[in-house]
Every structure is written in C-alpha cells, then in structure tokens.
Amino acid sequence: MREAGRLAGLGVGGVILFGLPPGRTPRGASLRSEGIVPRALRALKQSVPDLSSGRTSASASTRTTALRPAGGSEVDNDRTLPLLARAAVVYAQAGADIVARAT
C-alpha cells in the first residue's frame, strides 16, 4: 500500500491488480471474496481511496486449469464466461473501479 500511495502522490490515477495465489485451484483462488485480489482491492481502497483500481479477467490460477479443455491449448469461452462473471461481481464488491475481460 505504501507503493500505491507513492504512485498516487506522483499523479498516477490508477493501477491494475494481478494476483498470484500460492496454489492453483480449479475455480481460481481469487474468485472467492477472501481471495488475494479482493483482499488487495479492499486494502487499496481503504489506504488510497482516490487511486482507481482495476482488475481484468480471472486469475492465472484459473486460466490453466478450468478454462482449457483437457489437453487443449485454446480457451473454452463457454466455460470462461461464468467464471469471469463471478470474478467481476467479487472484484466490484471488493471495490474495483473497473473490471474488464482481458483473456
């Protein structure tokens, strides 16, 4: 949060958060309200309320396990959308100013 405050003091208007939870889970650790990204969003809003925060897509922990068919290399959009919708709700509730799909 110290770095976020420093950035705001320099005139930076916003940041994008990318969380890497300690382990990979089929549903993605940040899809829970107590995941690493939602916790960081809440702390950022409390510490530096004027700094816009954003979050894009589901976490990297989800991308490799839940979004690709077994053995496939392409993202399965039909399986991705409900996860991204859940992530958007969780991140917005945690205080994200912007939620956008990047995958």
Could you give the angle at which helices 77-94 and 36-47 cross, rounded to 10 degrees?
A: 30
Please give the tally of structural domains in the chain. Answer: 1
Q: Helices in 1-103 by DSSP H: which ranges?
A: 2-9, 36-47, 60-63, 77-94
Tens of pLDDT, residue by residue over 20-49, are 766 665 556 557 888 888 888 999 999 999
Max CA-CA distance within the chain?
47
What pLDDT sits at residue 30? 55
47: left (phi over 0), alpha (psi -120 to 50) or beta: alpha
- What does the pLDDT read at residue 31? 74
Of residues 36 and 89, more confidently modeled = 89
The answer to whether the predicted template modeling score (pTM) of the entire model surpasses 0.85 is: no
Confidence of residue 56 (pLDDT cuts 50, 70, 90): low
The lowest-confidence range among 4-13, 17-26, 29-38, 76-85 is: 17-26
For residue 57, give the amino acid letter. Answer: S
**Alpha-carbon span 75 to 7, nearest angstrom:** 34
